[in-house]
Amino acid sequence: MNKLIFKSLLILILFSNSFLNAEIDIGAKTGILQDYLSGKILYEKEPDMKIYPASMTKIMTALIAFELLKTKEITLDEKFVISEKAWRMSTSGYSSMFIMLNDEVTVEDLLKGIIIVSGNDACVALAEGIAGTEEEFVVLMNNKAKELGMNNTKFSNSSGISDADNYSTVKDILIMSEFLIKNYPEYYVFFKETTFTWYRTGGDPITQGNRNPLLYHDIGVDGLKTGFLTVEKYSLASSILRNERRLIAVGSGFKSKSDRGKKSKKLLLWGLTKFDTIKIAKNNEKFISLDTWLGKKKKVDVYTKDDVYVTVPKRKKKTISAFIEYIKPVPAPIEKDDKIGVLSVFLNDELLSEHDVFSMEQIHKVNIFSRIFKSFNFLVWGDV
């Protein structure tokens, strides 16, 4: 095996969350901040504390619908009939899009009613339209939570209204938010819309604004959901995108609506200014070319199937090293997607991650005469 060292300019320092957490106070009972590309947790405060997620529950409700849209089991223009149960949620005291009994409403309007104006009535209507009953829809929600590894979460309804059996953690809300952003970008755009006008049947249009205060600050925030319950106080799952770098934050137990916005903004901007994220390899893109032995091409292009990023504290940096371990030169014949070697990324001589490296192309072996000639050169001159 040979080790090809290809990066020595990447730099960082070992750091602990407790050290960094001391630099910022978010004023909430529990919170977490993650760099989306690297997956690095930049901040956490009691991330496994049990919370009542309130309207952050609606992220999962939307996620289930997005999944069915992607598999074409439902469509955006499909209409669901509004039941009495859903209609009764359209009352003062509840967040609502004010749907009407027995009306027919499209999936797209219900999703916007959920995501933008946080309508509890829209949640029930969507849940019933998809699964028949809200109770059956909750089964889908909990199955998905289990699939995603949300090990400290249980959903009991589709809207997040007060229920002791509807609980989660900021870590689990982060897992769910990250999955939604990654897998449903075509529908995630609903989360950044600041207003929704509901052209209801038999009444004047109703326009309501998005409940997420950070959308109005022009700082790059494009989601996700606020929440409020008297027992939990204020919560917010938020995400910011700047210069192709994304951070996701979740906080719960903010003392006031004002604190929820200010402190979440502070946490997101702290993460952007305190850290850099460095790309080492992008999945399915040419990463580097390696020498071949007895191949019709002298080099083979290789790639990783994973994105490889490292998040780095700014201005406090030491060297990161990364190398590919492989047989040098790579012997032909080589098939497309053959495993060529292993990319290892180290931080201060401590292994951070390993990623298999694959051939991007098929390379045939040269004919017998070329093989004899190349072998002779190698024996005499060491030339491959």
Q: CA–CA distance from 41 to each of 51, 183, 311 (Å)?
A: 19, 20, 9
55 is catalytic: yes
Quick count: other Cβ atoms within 10 Å of Cβ 201?
11
Q: CA–CA distance from 299 to each of 121, 361, 363 (Å)?
A: 60, 10, 9
Distance CA 81, CA 72 (A): 20
Smallest CA-to-CA distance from 193 within 299, 115, 98 is with 115
Residue pair 115/76 in contact by the 8 Å Cβ criterion = no
238 is catalytic: no
Smallest CA-to-CA distance from 308 within 289, 325, 283 is with 283
Residue pair 303/49 in contact by the 8 Å Cβ criterion = no
Q: What is the largest CA-CA distance in the chain?
A: 91
Paired with 248 in beta bridges are 34, 239
Paired with 290 in beta bridges are 300
Determine which one of 38, 96, 118, 264 is catalytic. Answer: 118
On the CB side of 219, CA atoms within 13 Å amount to 24
Single-letter amino acid code for the residue at 282: K
Q: Is 20 helix (H, G, I), strand (E, B) or coil?
A: helix
Strands (DSSP E) found in 46-165: 79-81, 104-106
* Structure token digits, residue 139: 């089964």
18 is catalytic: no
Determine which one of 29, 38, 45, 58 is catalytic. Answer: 58
Single-letter amino acid code for the residue at 77: D
| Contacts of 93 by beta carbon, 8 Å cutoff, 6+ apart | none
On the CB side of 366, CA atoms within 13 Å amount to 17
Determine which one of 29, 38, 45, 55 is catalytic. Answer: 55
Tally: H helices and E strands in the chain: 10, 19
Q: CA–CA distance from 163 to each of 58, 186, 296, 355 (Å)?
A: 14, 32, 67, 43
Catalytic site positions: 55, 58, 118
